[in-house]
Amino acid sequence: MTRPVSALWSHCLDETQFLPARAKRENGTLADLNARERYAEKIVAFGAYDPDLSDNRASAIELAFRNAGEHDKLKWATMQLCSFHECLADAKTNYVANDGVVPLQSALFLDVAKGDQFARRAGNAVQLDDGKIESRRLAGRHHILNGDHLDLLELRDGSLRQVLYREIAEAARQTTPPASGPHRAK
């Protein structure tokens, strides 16, 4: 029996923290930031997805009984997000490509308003359409990693670490004002 998505999560407590209106006036909101497209080119987005779902078959009960590690739990969560894509009525969402926590469309700040499907599942393979991803890109640049959410956080992939270092160095070059020469006291 398949339950609607809302029933799947109805037992979860919402612990959302809301900022007071004063803080929003002083610092702005995400909606304000999103309305200022001049910052879009400065965003460097990183996202991950699992291109091979063949080893993501464990059930929640199996994971609990065998004291599974975090990566195994994320494999299970990847499959849950993948299945949400199949049962959601909104064809604009695409959760097939995800890292077990964040759908790739969210991680990369993709404009999915037109509903173009940039990822599809073919058996156990998740396939990306790079052209559709590029045409829906809102961030200045993006990088896609094969893996789960922890792979992004742990930076075990040396090539990802090097990409991060390059992006940070580039951002520092763009934001550091040029030196004005030696300062002399009068």
User: Which pLDDT belongs to residue 151?
Assistant: 79
What contacts 63, CB < 8 A, 6 or more positions away?
Answer: 72, 73, 76
7 belongs to a structural domain: no
Mean pLDDT per 10-residue run, the chain (186 residues)? 49 64 79 69 85 79 72 84 71 81 89 81 91 88 85 72 81 63 43
Number of domains in the chain: 1
Quote the CA–CA distance of 153 and 173 in Å, as a whole number: 24
Structural domain that includes position 68: 40-171
In a domain, 131, yes or no: yes
184 assigned to some structural domain: no
Within a domain: 47: yes
| SS3 of residue 183 by DSSP | coil
Q: What is the pLDDT of residue 133?
A: 92
CA distance 152 to 172: 22
Residue 145 is assigned to a structural domain of this protein:
yes
DSSP 1-56: -PPPHHHHSTTS--------HHHHHHH--HHHHHH-GGGGGG-EEEEEE-SB-TT-
Point out which residues pair with 46 in neighbouring strands. 143
CA distance 32 to 77: 32
41: tokens are 């080119």
In a domain, 11, yes or no: no
Cα 125 to Cα 62, 117, 120, 156: the distances in Å are 23, 15, 8, 23
**27 within a domain of the structure (yes/no):** no
Residue 3 lies in a domain: no
